[in-house]
C-alpha cells in the first residue's frame, strides 16, 4: 500500500491531484490518502480528510511507500520506520503554506540523499513512475546519537555561552 499524507494544517491540492491522476492513469488501487482540508476530492484512490493518531501510525507502518508534503514529522517518521518516502514541498507563492520552509527542508534532505524529493508536479509525476523501485534508508533511531549530543554540547559551550551578555 502507498500512503499519501498532507499533514493536518493546510490543504495541498497539487500533491493530492497529481497522485490521484497518476493512480488513475496506472490503474493503481493500492493508494490511500489522508488529504486534510483539501478542496480536491480524489476519484482514483481511497481517502479521508484526517486520521486519528493510532490509525495514522498503522497506515505508516503498513505502507510500502510514503508520499508526503515536506513536513519534518512525516519525513522523520518514515526514516524512523525505515520506509521509503517521496516528498513534495508546499509553496508560499501558491498559498499552500505561510513561507517556504518546506522548500528548504526538501532541498536539505535532497542533499543528504536519504529522501526522494520532487519540487513540483512535473518532477513528482516522473518520480511516481519509479515509485515501486523506491527503497527505504537505514532506520533512524528515536533519539539523537551520542556524537550529535556531544557536537551540540561543544557548540553551546564554545559559541553560545561565549556570546556577550546584554
Q: What Cα–Cα distance (Å) separates residue 33 from each residue in 13, 87, 166?
A: 12, 14, 50
Q: In whole angstroms, what is the distance from residue 20 CA to residue 12 CA?
A: 13
C-alpha–C-alpha distance, residues 15 and 40, integer Å: 10
Q: For 18-76, what is each residue's pLDDT tens digit?
A: 999 999 999 999 999 999 999 999 999 999 999 999 999 999 999 999 999 999 999 99
**Architecture of the domain made up of 2-138:** 3-Layer(aba) Sandwich (3.40)
Q: Examine the pLDDT at 133 and tell me if it is beyond 80.
A: yes
Q: Which helix (H) or strand (E) holds 57?
A: helix 53-62
> Is the pLDDT at 118 greater than 90, yes or no?
yes
pLDDT at 162: 66
Residue 155's pLDDT band (boundaries 50, 70, 90)?
confident
pLDDT tops 70 at residue 160: no
Domain ranges within the chain, ordered by starting residue: 2-138
pTM for this prediction: 0.84
DSSP string, 100-112: SHHHHHHHHHHHH
Q: What is the pLDDT of residue 7?
A: 87
Amino acid at each position: 500500500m502507498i500512503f499519501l499524507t498532507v499533514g493536518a494544517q493546510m490543504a495541498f491540492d497539487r500533491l493530492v491531484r497529481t497522485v490521484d491522476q497518476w493512480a488513475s492513469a496506472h490503474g493503481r488501487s493500492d493508494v490511500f490518502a489522508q488529504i486534510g482540508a483539501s478542496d480536491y476530492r480524489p476519484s482514483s484512490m481511497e481517502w479521508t480528510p484526517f486520521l486519528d493518531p493510532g490509525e495514522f501510525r498503522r497506515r505508516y507502518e503498513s505502507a510500502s511507500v510514503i508520499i508526503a508534503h515536506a513536513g519534518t514529522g512525516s519525513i522523520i517518521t518514515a526514516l524512523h520506520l525505515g520506509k521509503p518516502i517521496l516528498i513534495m514541498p508546499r509553496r508560499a507563492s501558491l498559498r499552500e503554506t505561510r513561507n517556504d520552509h518546506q522548500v528548504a527542508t526538501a532541498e536539505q534532505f535532497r542533499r543528504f540523499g536519504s529522501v526522494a524529493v520532487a519540487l513540483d508536479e512535473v518532477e513528482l509525476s516522473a518520480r511516481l513512475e519509479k515509485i515501486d523501485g523506491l527503497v527505504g534508508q537505514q532506520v533512524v533511531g528515536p533519539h539523537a546519537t551520542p556524537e550529535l549530543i556531544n557536537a551540540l554540547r561543544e557548540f553551546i559551550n564554545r559559541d553560545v555561552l561565549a556570546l556577550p551578555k546584554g
